[in-house]
């Protein structure tokens, strides 16, 4: 017998707030309830078939069976730079300013290892995708949470960060269009971020996972198209949400060559890149994607409109999102995030995500994901109307 004890880096992790909710969901399902799951941010539709065909074709070629390069096929990184040119007017050196990632989560989890020393501060938004904070903790860094508040359009107020924090801050994570609030960034905000980065010597990591999931003609700006952004930061990108490829594990980071180089150095010592056939399929996904993007955007717009109409009738307050497949809803009076989400699950068989699970400033909100059909969304609205609150 040996004594198995976890390392401090695991012991320091905050309790997993969704554990109790997962247990409740199983309990409700065991009662025979057909739970409508609006909790998970994972597209319900399959990957477009031309992408799958490309994978199958490339997988049969023995030259793709070898170790890939950790930084990515040149052809994949060239496709990324063509994408940036055409989508954002940004010119990138594919060999120095682009690195492929095993999903953007992988890059987000690894970047603090390249730039954060123990005791350094990482500026992270809150509420947020949990990996920003946890990857910082794993590197021995100190996360400083910037609250995203409704009155600021869910953008952080950079002027409120204390001077002693700024003195120790090395890097900042941002994410727009935002998960979980669905808020967009403005070009003016990105300009402020570049000035802030230069003033305080802070590297910027912008997570652009929802770049193409936008509606009503809205085109989310890339951080890299902001003047001066290439000197201070990088952008994380993912094929997951745009092309229904969450299970494929492919993404990339682009931007400042030194920051990309640092991330690449960590990666070269940890992983060996992405299966080349998946990269070939990724090129296929990004090339000539206008028709697909239109289809995907139309699809989520219809779902959004069904749910927004239903929420309005129910008297649940939520801003109509311009982007992402989330609706960030205000919890009705008399409830907390936790108690309202539990009420919806137990009484109506609807799984949603409590806002406080993404960080304390998310209290008072819950997130609904548009990852079920219009009919199921309408059914969810009907069930809430039946049980009341």
Ligand X SMILES: *Cc1c(COP(=O)(O)O)cnc(C)c1O
Tabulate helix, strand, coil % of the chain (nearest 5). Answer: 45, 15, 40
Give the shortest CB-180-to-ligand X separation in angstroms.
Answer: 8
Told to check if 240 binds ligand X by CB under 6 A, we report: yes
Tell me which of 47, 126, 179, 256 binds ligand X, using CB under 6 A: 179
| Tokens representing residue 99 in the block | 């690195």
Q: From CA 134, how far away is CA 122, in angstroms rounded?
A: 11
Q: Which of 338-373 are b and which e, b meaning 16 or more Cβ less than 10 Å from the residue's Cβ? A: bebbbbbbbebbbbbbbbbbbbebbbbbbbbbbbbe
Check: CB of residue 98 under 8 Å from CB of residue 254.
yes
Told to check if 209 binds ligand X by CB under 6 A, we report: yes
Beta strands 98-101; 251-255: pairing state: antiparallel
Contacts of 17 (CB under 8 A, 6+ apart): 354, 356, 357
Q: Which is nearer to ligand X, 220 or 310 (CB)?
A: 220
Give the shortest CB-42-to-ligand X separation in angstroms.
Answer: 8
Told to check if 54 binds ligand X by CB under 6 A, we report: no
Told to check if 37 binds ligand X by CB under 6 A, we report: no
Told to check if 371 binds ligand X by CB under 6 A, we report: no
Give the shortest CB-129-to-ligand X separation in angstroms.
Answer: 4
Q: From CA 254, how far away is CA 81, in angstroms rounded?
A: 9
Q: Of residues 98-127, which lie at the interface with ligand X (CB under 6 A)?
A: 103-105
Check: CB of residue 249 under 8 Å from CB of residue 55.
no
**Stretch near ligand X under the rule CB under 6 A, chosen from 97-105, 113-121, 161-169, 363-371:** 97-105
- Using CB under 6 A as the binding criterion, the count of chain residues that bind ligand X stands at 14
Told to check if 47 binds ligand X by CB under 6 A, we report: no
Told to check if 251 binds ligand X by CB under 6 A, we report: yes
Told to check if 246 binds ligand X by CB under 6 A, we report: yes
Question: Using CB under 6 A as the criterion, which residues of the chain lie in contact with ligand X when the complex forms?
Answer: 41, 103-105, 129, 175, 179, 207, 209, 238, 240-241, 246, 251
């Amino acid at each position: 017998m040996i004594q198995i004890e976890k390392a401090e880096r695991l012991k320091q992790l905050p309790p997993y707030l969704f554990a109790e909710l997962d247990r409740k969901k199983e309990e409700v399902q065991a009662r025979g309830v057909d739970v409508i799951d609006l909790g998970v941010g994972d597209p319900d539709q399959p990957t477009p078939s031309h992408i799958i065909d490309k994978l199958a074709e490339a997988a049969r070629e023995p030259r793709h069976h070898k170790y890939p390069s950790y930084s990515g096929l040149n052809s994949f990184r060239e496709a990324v730079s063509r994408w940036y040119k055409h989508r954002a007017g940004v010119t990138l050196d594919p060999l120095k300013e682009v690195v492929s990632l095993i999903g953007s989560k992988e890059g987000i989890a690894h970047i603090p290892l390249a730039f954060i020393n123990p005791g350094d501060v990482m500026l992270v938004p809150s509420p947020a995708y949990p990996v920003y904070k946890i990857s910082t903790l794993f590197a021995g860094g100190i996360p400083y949470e910037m609250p995203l508040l409704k009155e600021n359009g869910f953008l952080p107020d950079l002027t409120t960060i204390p001077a002693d924090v700024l003195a120790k801050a090395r890097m900042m994570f941002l994410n727009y269009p935002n998960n979980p609030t669905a808020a967009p960034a403005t070009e003016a905000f990105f300009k402020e971020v570049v000035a802030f980065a230069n003033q305080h010597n802070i590297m910027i990591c912008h997570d652009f996972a929802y770049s193409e999931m936008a509606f009503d003609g809205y085109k989310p700006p890339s951080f890299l198209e902001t003047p001066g952004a290439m000197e201070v930061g990088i952008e994380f990108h993912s094929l997951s949400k745009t092309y229904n490829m969450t299970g494929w594990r492919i993404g990339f980071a682009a931007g400042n060559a030194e920051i990309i180089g640092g991330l690449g150095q960590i990666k070269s010592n940890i992983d060996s890149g992405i299966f080349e056939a998946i990269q070939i399929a990724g090129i296929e996904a990004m090339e000539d994607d206008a028709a697909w993007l239109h289809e995907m955007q139309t699809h989520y717009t219809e779902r959004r409109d069904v749910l927004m109409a239903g929420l309005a009738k129910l008297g649940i307050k939520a801003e109509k999102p311009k982007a992402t497949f989330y609706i960030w809803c205000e919890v009705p009076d008399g409830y907390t995030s936790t108690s309202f989400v539990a009420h919806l699950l137990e009484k109506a068989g609807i799984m949603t995500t409590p806002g406080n699970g993404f960080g304390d400033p998310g209290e008072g909100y819950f997130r609904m994901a548009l990852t079920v059909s219009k009919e199921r969304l309408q059914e969810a609205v009907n069930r809430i109307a039946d049980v009341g609150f």
